Amino acid sequence: MAEPSLSVRKREGRLAPETVAALNADLAARFGNSFTASEAIRRQHGHTLTWLENQPPDAVVFAETRDDVVDLVTLCAKHDAPIIPFGVGSSLEGHVNAPHGGVSLDCSRMNAILAVNAEDLDCVVEPGVTRTQLNAFLHDSGLFFPIDPGADATLGGMASTRASGTNAVRYGTMKELVLSLGVVTADGTFLRTGTRAKKSSAGYDLTHLFVGAEGTLGVIVEVTLKLAGLPEAVSAATCSFPDVHSACSTTIETIQSGLPSARIERLDTLSVRAFNIYAHLGLPETPMLLVEFHGTESGVAEQAQRFGEIVAENGGGNFIWATKPEERTKLWKARHEGFFAQMALRPGARPFATDTCVPISRLADCVEETLADIAASGLVAPIVGHVGDGNFHVSPLVDMTNPKEIEAAEAFASRLAHRAIAMGGTCTGEHGVGQKKIPYMEDEHGTAAVDLMRRIKAAFDPQNLFNPGKVFAV
């Protein structure tokens, strides 16, 4: 392959103090009160959720318009300063860290809902709109946006990380639901990557090149999304199992039978205990599935009945149904707060949150091997998962004053990633690569594919301005 340009290869340290001073002077002149170099705010825009080191930017700019983004890109290009797009900072793999300094571009004020095309089941939003904000706006329209990663993430950030979540088994991921993007590129150009048409055969699929690029190719300033109709009826339930294998087998059979479940979440015993402590739920502390069905009244009833038969065939039971909205809200709120519930299992410890995804037929194998690995490692590591699409999350809780625990957690996370890849899966189903998953990219994709990614990066961003130090080593 051709060598990337010198400017792409040169990011090794942070910006020199004199460069930062000149950059910040230009930013202050252009953005006024929307610019800050406050240490506290800069640290808030570095990675804070897990044990990964906080690497703050040199400055933060709160963009309010597309022109703000264009001007920021132009100024950063002038000073050869990195740009790190920022939504609400809910990512878990160090995506918002600034290892080479530069400017955190906070898009949270770009939060306008630009259009809702109810007849076409789509909408156009700015990147700072959150999923709950959009769904509150859509409430009276009979529509909703179904991607639900748990955190109230911004839609620009969700597109950048190719997010999914609890509803992905029925409605898909951001990959399926983003129709078009408005993007500012490294030369300050604004472009749209597609149209509102549901399909197209015209040219390269630029939209899905930016979806999942984690802010390394450009800044998303507009997102066109598919919407779904609100279901007539919704029913949710929990059911318990004697062991992990039977819970996973139930999931596999449910998917293979074509039963149109909206959500299938799996909790291990440790996670159920955490939820009971944190959310006062009183659930039986055994391996458990949380399921939800969407459709007509009769359709939901039929789906629930068939699912119950599959559960019984696999030795499960103890159904607790939640048909009232407030009951479902309490149940799913506990699931969405699982990250913080798990932290309560070991106060003072820091989580090493990681995720993986395998073909559904290998799910039981991967989970059982992972549980055995956790036990052998002596770690406290609860598991939850969007098992309906083969995705699960593990969060070792680590005493950061104990080097042996840190080493054990890092080694475990590496084995988990390689285990999933060996089973035909991926090192990350929805967290994204960020900084922590870079070591597994060549194992998963192969050297030739990663080299091609590097060439795409060099073509789109020859100065390596956009989120350097993420996705792969340049």
Coil, strand or helix at 191: strand
Q: How confident is the model at residue 10 (pLDDT cuts 50, 70, 90)?
A: low
Q: What is the pLDDT of residues 406-465, one digit of tens each?
A: 999 999 999 999 999 999 999 999 999 999 999 999 999 999 999 999 999 999 999 999
| Confidence check: pLDDT of 187 > 90 | yes
Q: Is residue 245 part of a domain?
A: yes
| Confidence check: pLDDT of 68 > 90 | yes
Coil, strand or helix at 257: coil
CB atoms inside a 10 Å sphere around CB 168 = 27
* Residue 303 shares a structural domain with residue 316: yes
CA-to-CA separations, 285 to 275, 366, 393, 411, in angstroms, rounded: 10, 22, 19, 28
Rounded Cα distance, 187 and 76, in Å: 10
- The structural domain count of the chain equals 3
Q: What is the pLDDT of residues 33-60, one digit of tens each?
A: 999 999 999 999 998 788 889 999 999 9
Rounded Cα distance, 414 and 279, in Å: 31
* Residue 163 shares a structural domain with residue 26: no
Rounded Cα distance, 117 and 197, in Å: 12
Mean pLDDT of 172-178: 94
Mean pLDDT of 117-127: 97
- Nearest of 163, 141, 142, 162 to residue 152 by alpha carbon: 163
Q: Is residue 142 part of a domain?
A: yes
Rounded Cα distance, 427 and 444, in Å: 7
Q: Is residue 129 part of a domain?
A: yes
Coil, strand or helix at 184: strand
Q: State phi, psi for 276 to the nearest 5 degrees.
A: -60, -45
Domain harbouring 70, CATH code: 3.30.43.10
> For the whole prediction, is pTM greater than 0.75?
yes
Domain edge (last residue) among 202, 229, 256: 229
* Residue 368 shares a structural domain with residue 408: yes
CA 186 from chain center: how many Å?
24
What percent of the chain is predicted at pLDDT more than 90? 72
* Residue 320 shares a structural domain with residue 391: yes
* Residue 172 shares a structural domain with residue 23: no
* Residue 266 shares a structural domain with residue 184: no
Q: Is residue 189 part of a domain?
A: yes
CA-to-CA separations, 169 to 123, 251, 339, 444, in angstroms, rounded: 22, 11, 21, 23
pLDDT mean across residues, the chain: 92
Q: Is residue 1 part of a domain?
A: no
- Nearest of 257, 235, 265 to residue 309 by alpha carbon: 257
Burial 378-394 (b: 16+ CB within 10 A, else e): ebbbbbbbbbbbbbbbb
* Residue 367 shares a structural domain with residue 263: yes
Percent helix, strand, coil in the chain (nearest 5)? 40, 20, 40
Coil, strand or helix at 284: coil
* Residue 177 shares a structural domain with residue 29: no
* Residue 266 shares a structural domain with residue 412: yes
Coil, strand or helix at 334: helix
* Residue 250 shares a structural domain with residue 163: no
Q: Is residue 468 part of a domain?
A: no
Mean pLDDT of 363-388: 92
- What residues make up the domain containing 100? 6-108+449-460
Mean pLDDT of 353-367: 93
* Residue 81 shares a structural domain with residue 218: no
Q: Give the per-residue pLDDT at 277.
A: 87
Provide the token pair at 209.
Answer: 């090149």
Domain edge (last residue) among 178, 205, 229: 229
- Nearest of 317, 337, 419 to residue 371 by alpha carbon: 419
Q: Is residue 277 part of a domain?
A: yes
* Residue 202 shares a structural domain with residue 346: no
Q: Is residue 221 part of a domain?
A: yes
- Contact between 96 and 47 under an 8 Å Cβ cutoff? The reply is yes
Domain harbouring 305, CATH code: 3.40.462.10
Domain harbouring 203, CATH code: 3.30.465.10
| Confidence check: pLDDT of 4 > 80 | no
Coil, strand or helix at 420: helix
